[in-house]
Amino acid sequence: MAQVTVKKGDTLSAIAKANKTTVAAIAKANPQIKNVNVIRVGQKVTLPTAAKPATPAKPKTPTVPGTPITPTTPTTPTTPAPTLSTTAAQTVDKFSMAELQKKYSIAAAVLKANPSLQDALNKILGGPNGEGMITDPYLQEQIIKQSDWYRTQTDKQRQFDYAKETNPAQFQADLAANAQEIVRKFAANGLKITAQEAITYGEQMMKSAVIQNGKVISYDANYLNQMMANAIDFTQTGKVGTADKVVYTKLSGNLETLAQSLYKQAWDYGYDKTMSNAGFTNWFETSMKGLVAGTLNAAQIDDQLQARAKSFAPGLSNLIDQGQTLRQAADPWLQAMADVWETDANSIDLNDEYVQRALNVTDEKGNVQPVNLYDAKKLARRNKVKFDGTQQAKEEKTRIANTILRDFGFLG
């Protein structure tokens, strides 16, 4: 059998082509070759019997060894870029800018701006000491992936930079559309955002994710929601109710609607009346941010309020567990006491001492339960501040006074 000696730059695919045979046939005739993609200079390669020895053409080196690459304008390849494989025989022995663009989203401007990428491509195209072009696509890929350009960026980042450099007009149009959508979302929530902030967020959303300090940071809908949550203006410029609970007059749009819903939930469970201003303020602002950011939902807030309501009024826990709010569960007792105090039951403070005594009585067995409604009314009458000012109390006092006067003969 004829043999050829491997020269610098040779590949089995080039030897097979020059000798009118195939890589598979050469591999069969050379069992000592364990990897058809790796051959050494000076190695003897036995040609199949039917092949005629010939000297394979030495691949042309696109760059002078050791000379940095000057990128050229990408051209459309006449053949598709090869599929990367470590097992299949490779027939492509060149590495062009077009292939870089197709496989790795590398534009000429990106290449110029990244020394690590230039070094990687120089290594592929010949190396600093003239080692010869690396033609195995798998090895080419590994060299690219070892560059800082690849290791410190996500696919979306690389695509972002490629689009920005290769089609600036379309890139700017897409960025403007994204920024406008972000402004619209902020405005719907009554939030202000500067043009530069909208552009910054728009660019981040186009990248989807970036690598910072070795960690992947996602720029998605959740990220934008968090930015909106952080932008809420919780300026307090007023008070509401007898308990002087704070209100926020800077909220508008969807945020105003959301705030009203939160206030209603708090009222249903007596939360706005049963805690300090500071406690309510912290709960309200934390809940608003959580709802906008998507880290909280209405059901979770309802669970929080139910838990606190059962702690506040353990005598009504069974009713709250059945799905009633604290005010719904306490309504019969509130109505009974409201009748005595001649007021609206909805205006009664659930934290009132007499309300608490009516809702939470410990029996001889240690069980906590409400008093009966008759006793609730008796309790209400003992609150002299609220009862003495009622019409009923005035009439009773008048009747008592008249009786005393009559008994002493002053009324005939």
DSSP string, 154-198: -HHHHHHHHHHHH-HHHHHHHHHHHHHHHHHHHHHTT----HHHH
Who wins on pLDDT, 298 or 37? Answer: 298
The amino acid at 33: I
pLDDT classification of 322: cutoffs 50, 70, 90: very high
Contact 283, 271 (CB under 8 A): yes
Lowest-confidence region among 22-26, 80-84, 297-301: 80-84
Who wins on pLDDT, 200 or 212? Answer: 200
Q: Structural domain boundaries of the chain? A: 3-46, 61-151, 162-230, 236-312, 314-412
Contact 380, 331 (CB under 8 A): no
Task: Share the mean pLDDT of the chain.
Answer: 80
Q: Is 212 in a helix, a strand, or coil?
A: strand
The amino acid at 123: K
Contact 126, 61 (CB under 8 A): yes
Q: How far apart are CA 99 and CA 148, in angstroms?
A: 19
**Both tokens assigned to 76:** 């459309």
Q: Is 209 in a helix, a strand, or coil?
A: strand
Contact 246, 239 (CB under 8 A): yes
* Cβ neighbours around 31 below 10 Å, total: 8
pLDDT, position 86: 34
Q: How far apart are CA 104 and CA 111, in angstroms?
A: 11
pLDDT classification of 180: cutoffs 50, 70, 90: very high
Read off the pTM: 0.59
* 238 beta partners: 247
CATH classification (class only), 3-46: alpha beta
pLDDT digits (tens, 9 = 90+) for 361-396: 888 888 889 999 999 999 999 998 888 888 888 887
**Ramachandran area for residue 368 (φ above 0: left; ψ -120 to 50: alpha; else beta):** beta
Burial class (CB in 10 A: 0-12, 13-18, 19+), 147: buried
Positive or negative, the CA dihedral 37, 40, 46, 52 is positive
pLDDT digits (tens, 9 = 90+) for 215-265: 889 999 999 999 999 999 888 755 554 445 667 778 888 998 999 899 888
Place of tokens 């043999």: 3
Q: Is 45 in a helix, a strand, or coil?
A: strand
